[in-house]
A and B are shown apart, each in its own frame.
Chain A
Amino acid sequence: VNTIEDRLRDELRAVADRVQPDSLRPLRVSAQRRRATTVRWLAPVTAVVAIAGIAVGVSLARQATSPPAPAAGARTQFYVTMNSAYVRAGTRPGTGPDGSNELVEWATVRDAATGAALTTVRLLVIHELKGRFGGIPLPQDQGIAAASDNRTFAVADQDGVFLLRVTPDGRSGRLTRVPASTRYEDAIALSPDGTRIAIQDWHCPGHNTACETRIRILSVATGTGRTWLGQLSGPARLAWTDNGRQVMFLWGDAGNFPATTYRLLDADAPPGSLLAHSVAMPYPAVPKDTAFLPTATPDGRNLIVVLATGRKEPGKFQLTDYRIVEMSPATGRITAVLYQAAIRWKLAPDQPYYGCQVLSVAGRGVHALVQCPVFGRLDGTKFTPLKSGSVPADLQEFGALAAW
C-alpha cells in the first residue's frame, strides 16, 4: 500500500467534503448578458449571484523603446526575459482608456554581465474595458529561445511566435512574426544560425481526444517545414546541436519512468514518426531525485541536472537541498557539483514554487541562466546574481522566461 497515495486520497476527500450541496451558491447571470443571448438562463429559485459584464478588446502593439546607450567600449552580451503584468490603463501614455485595465507582456534585452535593461519590446497588450482583472485571459504558452549569435531570439506567446533581432549594442530590437500557426507550445528552440525554429506542441484532433506530441522544424522566414508526431511524457527540452543539423529532445519511456532519455532528430529527416526518425543518445537515465528535467549544452558534452532532497524541520518548515550538477553523458555519473542551495521554507497557502531550475544554456561548457532561488548566471561553478526585478520569482507559474 502506498502511504502517500492513501494520505493524498483521504486529505483531498476531506477538503472537498467541506463543500456540501446545500451550501453552494446558486448561479445566475446579469440582466445585460441575459438580454444578449437567445437562450436565457433561468435563475433557480434562490439564485442571486451577479456576474459583471466585461467587454474585452484585444489589441496588439509592438514597439521598442530605447534608454540611453551603454558606456562606449563595454563588452555586450545579452539575455532576454519575458514578463507580463496587469497595469491600470490611462495612468501613463500609450495605455488604454482611463478606468480600464490592461494585461501587458513584454521582452527585455539585458546586459548579461550586469543585468541592466537595455531595451524593452512590447509583445502583447490586452485591454479590459471595464470591471475587474478577472476578465482578462492570462498569458499562456510562452517560450523564449536564442540563436548562437546572442542577438537573435525567438519569443512565443498565445499570439504566435516572433523573432526578436537585437542591434549590436543591444539598444533596440526589431520584432517580426514567424508565419506559423501554433498552439500549446511546450518548448521552442532556435537553430544556431537563427533561420529555423523547432517547436514542440500538441496535435489534438478534437476535444476529449488524446493528443499527440508534435515537433515541428520550420523556417522562420516562411513558416514551412516538417512535422513529426509521437507520445512524449512531458516537455521535450528541445535543443539544437551546435552544427545546426539536429535537434535533441527528451523522450520519456512512460513504461519505465524515470528512464527518460535524450533522442536526436535529424532536422532534414522525412516527416512522420518522431520515434522512427530519431535515434537514442548515450545519455543516462534521469536520476530519481531530479527536480527538473536535464538540460544538454549545445555541444552535447555536458548534461546539467538539478537534484533535490528534502527533509522536515520543526514548525512545519521544510529544508530542501538543491544541487545543480554536471553529469557525464557517457556514464551518467556526476562529474561536478556546480552550485548548491539549501532553501528553508514554510509551507504556506498558495505558495509558488521557489525551487531551482536551469532556464537556458549557451556556448560551450557550462554557461547557464538559472534560478536557484535567486536569478543569475552560472559559468562553471561561478554563480553571479543578476538583476531579477524583471524576472518573476515565481517562474514556475509563468514558465521559463529567460534565454541567452
Chain B
Amino acid sequence: MSLVTPGTDSEHRAAAGLTELFREHHLELVRLALLMVGDRATAEDVVQDVFERLHRRWRHLHEPANGLAYARSSVLNACRSVHRRSAVARKHAPRLAADSAALGPDGPSALADRSELAQALRALPRRQREVLVLRYYADLDNAEIAATLRIAPSAVRSNCTRGLATLAGILGEDEK
C-alpha cells in the first residue's frame, strides 16, 4: 500500500521513497521520539507532524536517499520544541490553564518510563541526551550522529563522554 497517490513521474518517485521510509522506519522514529519526550501520545504526534512536513518537502530534498537521517533530525528538532513548549507552559501555567489541553491529556511530562537511569537521562542537557539516545538506542556511529544533529564528530564524542560521566555522577556510581 502506498502512502501517497503520485501524479507525475517525479512525484511517483518521491511518493515511493516516502512510503518506503514510512514503512521501514515509522516505528523506529516513534520510539526515538518516545525516548526524547517520554510520552507516547506526544511521540506519535511528533512523528506524525514530521511525516507531514516530509511529505511537503520530499521532492525538494537534496539527497532523498538520506531521508532517514533527515527524518531523524526532524524528529529530534520537534522533540526539542515539545520540551520548550512544556517548559514555557509550566512557567506560565495560570495564563495558559485554558490551553493546557492542547498539550495532550497527559502533558508531555507523562513518562513512559520511570526507572532511575531513564530519569537521569532526562535530566541531562539536551545535546548530551540526544547523543546518548542516538548512540545507545539507534546504534548510530559518530559520523551518523554528527550528520543527524548537524554537529562536528568531535562534538559527538565529547557530548557522549560528558553525558556518560554526568549520568555516573547523578547515579552516584563509577563510570566504568
A contact residues vs B (CB 8 Å cutoff): 2-5, 7-9, 11-19, 21, 24-25, 27, 29, 33, 37-42, 44-45, 49, 51, 84-88, 101, 132-134, 137-140, 184, 202, 204, 206-213, 231-234, 252, 254, 257-258, 260, 288-289, 291, 308-312, 316, 318, 320, 347-353, 392-394, 396-398
Contacts and interface: CB of A to CB of B under 8 A. Distances in A.
9 contacts: A4-B167, A11-B121, A15-B34, A24-B44, A207-B62, A209-B147, A233-B155, A234-B127, A349-B109
B30 A133 contact: no
A29 B52 contact: yes
B84 A202 contact: no
A12 B137 contact: yes
A397 B174 CA distance: 27
B87 to A, nearest CB: 5
Contacts of B37: 350
A32 to B, nearest CB: 12
Contacts of A234: 127, 155, 158-159
Interface size range on B against A:
35 or more
Contact of B70 (A208, A309, A351): A208
The 7 closest A-B pairs by CB, nearest first: A254-B154, A132-B102, A349-B111, A16-B31, A347-B119, A350-B109, A312-B172
A396 B99 CA distance: 24
Main secondary structure of the interface of B (DSSP, over half): helix
Interface string B1-29: 11111110001001100000010001100
Given A2-B176, A19-B30, A39-B6, A86 B170 contact: no
B131 to A, nearest CB: 11
Nearest to B4: A39
Interface in B107-143: 108-127, 132-133, 136-137, 143
A208 B117 contact: no
Contacts of A49: 48
A252 B125 CA distance: 18
A129 B45 CA distance: 20
Contacts of A311: 172
B4 A211 contact: no
Contacts of B45: 134
A19 B165 contact: no
Interface of B: 1-7, 11, 14-15, 22, 26-27, 30-32, 34-35, 37-38, 40, 43-45, 48-49, 51-52, 55-56, 61-63, 66, 69-70, 80-81, 83-92, 95-96, 98-99, 102-103, 108-127, 132-133, 136-137, 143, 146-147, 150-155, 157-159, 161-162, 164-176
Nearest to A86: B88
Given A38-B11, A39-B15, A352-B87, A4 B164 contact: yes
A138 B7 CA distance: 34
Contacts of A40: 4-5
A44 B154 contact: no
B87 A86 contact: no
B132 A8 contact: yes
A8 B175 contact: no
A49 B30 CA distance: 15
A133 B52 CA distance: 17
Nearest to A101: B99
A211 B150 contact: yes
Contacts of A398: 84, 87
A208 B35 contact: no
Given A233-B152, A347-B123, 8 more contacts: A15-B35, A27-B48, A41-B4, A42-B3, A208-B69, A260-B158, A308-B169, A394-B91
A40 B2 CA distance: 11
A137 B82 CA distance: 10
Contacts of A316: 116
Nearest to B114: A349
Given A39-B11, A349-B114, A318 B172 contact: yes
A4 B168 contact: yes
B102 to A, nearest CB: 4
Contacts of B32: 16
Given A49-B48, A204-B150, A311-B172, A39 B35 contact: no
